[in-house]
């Protein structure tokens, strides 16, 4: 009889710990919610014409970060014989246009061909960016080369994800087919 009481007590303790662990693992359903101030401003893109003429700032209406400007003054892009060479040297200025503090984010500045392949990637920034606050930073500093079928390459610029308290939010990427670039799944 005593053994049954001890086993019952141990079972109750085990169930209490399991229930507490499950409750602590439940996510806050509001963690990824934020309000965004609408913006009608188009990002300012400056630099050499061979770069600027191929830049596509990705439309991202759900992003809590707004790209204000990208300066490619020290960047170079050569497209020749269905190949390209990319030397990315740029700075980007962004603004938090949400009602939440951004704890970190990742931006993309990279060259993609018509099939979505390319070079360049994300730049992860850890910061406490308060609502309305702006920051300017080095957005890329890499180099690379690749194929450019039919001479189609675009310099894509966008926000990949942001971190707010309790949430890592992956931002949508709207790229019109008229841009000539397709993104492979998970390639953005």
User: Which CATH architecture best describes the domain 44-179?
Assistant: Sandwich (2.60)
Written as one string, the DSSP assignment of 46-99 is: ES-HHHHTTEEEPB-TT-SEEEEEEE-TT-EEEEETTEEEEE--EEEEEEE-BS
Lowest mean pLDDT among 82-96, 144-158, 164-178: 164-178
The reported pLDDT for the residue numbered 140 is 83
| pLDDT band, residue 1 (cuts 50/70/90) | low
Mean pLDDT of 135-158: 88
185 vs 3 pLDDT, higher one: 3
pLDDT band (50, 70, 90) for residue 10: very low
Whether the pLDDT of residue 136 is over 90: the answer is yes
Query: 175 or 182, which is more confident?
Result: 175
- State both tokens at 160: 């990949």
- For residues 122 and 160, the answer to whether their CB atoms sit within 8 Å is yes
Spell out the domain ranges in the chain.
44-179
Flag whether pLDDT at 187 surpasses 60: no
52-103 pLDDT, tens digit each: 999 999 999 999 999 999 999 999 999 999 999 999 889 999 999 999 999 9
Which one, of 137, 75, 73, 70, lies nearest residue 105 by Cα?
137
Structure tokens at 55: 């830049």
pLDDT of residue 23: 41
Residue 134 pLDDT > 80: yes
- Residue 66's nearest CA partner among 103, 38, 106, 100 is 38
pLDDT the model gives residue 31: 78
Is a pLDDT exceeding 70 seen at residue 164? Answer: yes
More confident site: 56 or 23 = 56
Residue with tokens 């700032």: 57
pLDDT band of 5, cuts 50, 70, 90: low
Q: What is the mean pLDDT of the chain?
A: 81
């Amino acid at each position: 009889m005593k053994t049954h009481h001890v086993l019952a007590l141990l079972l109750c303790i085990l169930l209490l710990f399991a229930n507490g662990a499950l409750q602590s693992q439940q996510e806050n359903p509001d963690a990824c919610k934020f309000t965004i101030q609408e913006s009608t401003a188009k990002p300012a893109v400056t630099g050499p014409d061979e770069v600027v003429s191929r830049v596509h700032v990705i439309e991202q209406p759900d992003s809590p970060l707004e790209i204000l400007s990208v300066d490619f003054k020290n960047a170079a892009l050569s497209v020749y014989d269905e190949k390209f060479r990319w030397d990315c040297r740029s700075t980007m200025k962004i603004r938090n246009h949400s009602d939440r503090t951004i704890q970190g984010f990742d931006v993309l500045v990279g060259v993609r061909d018509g099939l979505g392949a390319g070079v360049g990637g994300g730049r992860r920034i850890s910061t406490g960016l308060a609502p309305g606050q702006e920051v300017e930073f080095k957005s890329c500093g890499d180099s690379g080369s690749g194929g450019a079928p039919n001479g189609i390459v675009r310099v894509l610029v966008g926000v990949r994800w942001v971190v707010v308290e309790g949430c890592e939010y992956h931002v949508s990427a709207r790229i019109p087919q008229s841009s000539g670039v397709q993104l492979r799944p998970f390639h953005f």
